[in-house]
Structure 1
Amino acid sequence: MPDADDLSTASRLCLACGLCCDGTVFGFAHIEEEEVEDTAGIGLQTIRTTNDEPAFLLGCHYLDGAACTRYRDWRPSVCGDYFCEVQKRVGKQELAEDEAFSIIARARQMTEEIKALLPPGVPISQARRLFKDLAAKRPDIAPDEATFVVKMFVLERFLDSAFRGAKRAHLRSAAQPAPSRQDTGAA
């Protein structure tokens, strides 16, 4: 692997993050139809979205920290083609690299706080479902559940603005229609 000085800014940001691959930013990643068999063949769980588009579930078990252990081997094309909003904004020089690393650090810290509130063995990729279930309870929510819901709401809002962008946002704003299930995947 090249040393850190030889890596592109996008790659350095990716290696500092890993939140798309671990299931924090997205619950699944879209793949090409011709990649379904190979994706399943390397042990990733493939699904069909509500629009019958092929995808695989995240968190990816090939993630080690924030690095892909299949980087040099075959992997679905989305793994190399996807760029989050942080990477795009740095590439367009709308965001300084040091600010981007601060955004990533903040997202990782918020994610760790959420993980600490999850029941043992529940991965971050399932936190979104738990969040929706608890938020739907409203008046019957326990204090520890309320803490989780608030922290998860703040994380989701932060991920929407910093990583997903308006087209893939998970939480609606007053001026934004609800995203379809297909829009909550990585690509």
Structure 2
Amino acid sequence: MASSDLQLSLESRLCLSCGLCCDGTLYEDAKIRDDEVASVEGIGLKTGRNAEGHATFLFACHYLDGACCTRYDQWRPSVCGKYFCRLQEKVRRNELAEDQAFDKIATARRLAADVKKALPTGMPIFEARHHFARLAARQPDLTPEEARFVVKMFVLERFLDAEFRKPDKGHLPKGARASATA
């Protein structure tokens, strides 16, 4: 079969243009089954336990190349093949058109890039959430640079909560999660 004959599902094409779940932008970790811990550690991913005591592996995943998984055709944690973000689910239910979904991914990636530029040197995106919480707690005693970061991070988190994360997995308080339009 020639590569031109290969037809990817819309959900897969969305995934391959995004990568925000695996780079740590959406979440800090992913739940895995207890019986997968040794295998996950065996492929070099760092494991831990979340606040509820579930086994997890931590993001960013070093198997991500751009928005593509370099372990796709090898063993990987079961969550990697089963996870569908809210955006993919909306497309699957025909609640969102393909072009709208790709526009939302482009917006999310742009917002994440803006946040990354505003982070202290060397801080990965998955740590930005903790940095945001520390700074937000200090308001109004923020430097202009810190205030710009807080605003950028809030906008990103609000957009991700509204468009990508499951309703029960949002990172902002409920009142701040109104549908984002960008």
Alignment TM-score > 0.5, same fold: yes
Partner of 1:13: 14
The 5 Å alignment of 1:30-179 reads 30-174=31-175
Tell me the TM-score normalized by structure 2: 0.93
1:125 deviates by 1.0
Give the SS at the match of 1:29: strand
Q: Taking CA–CA contacts closer than 8 Å with sequence separation of 6 or more, which of the two structures ends up with the larger relative contact order?
A: 1
| Segments ≥4 residues shifted beyond 3 Å | 1-5
CA RMSD for the aligned pairs? 1.7
Tell me the TM-score normalized by structure 1: 0.90
Structure 2 distance, partners of 1:39, 1:111, is 27
Show structure 2 runs of 5+ residues with no match.
178-182
Note the alpha carbon deviations across 1:100-140, whole angstroms, 9 max, x for none: 00000000000000111112211111111110111111121
Structure 1 distance, partners of 2:106, 2:131, is 24
1:166 deviates by 1.5
Name the amino acid aligned to 1:132.
A
Greater shift in the superposed pair: 2-11 or 70-79:
2-11
Do the aligned partners of residues 147 and 78 (structure 1) sit closer, same or farther apart at CA in structure 2, a change above 3 Å counting?
A: same
Identity of counterpart residues, as a percentage? 55
Give the SS at the match of 1:147: helix
Give the SS at the match of 1:26: coil
**What is the count of residue pairs matched by the alignment?**
176
Show structure 1 runs of 5+ residues with no match.
177-187
The answer on whether the counterparts of 1:4 and 1:12 sit within 8 Å (CA) in structure 2 is: no
Name the amino acid aligned to 1:151.
K
The answer on whether the counterparts of 2:91 and 2:98 sit within 8 Å (CA) in structure 1 is: yes
Note the alpha carbon deviations across 1:25-58, whole angstroms, 9 max, x for none: 0010000111000001111110011221100111
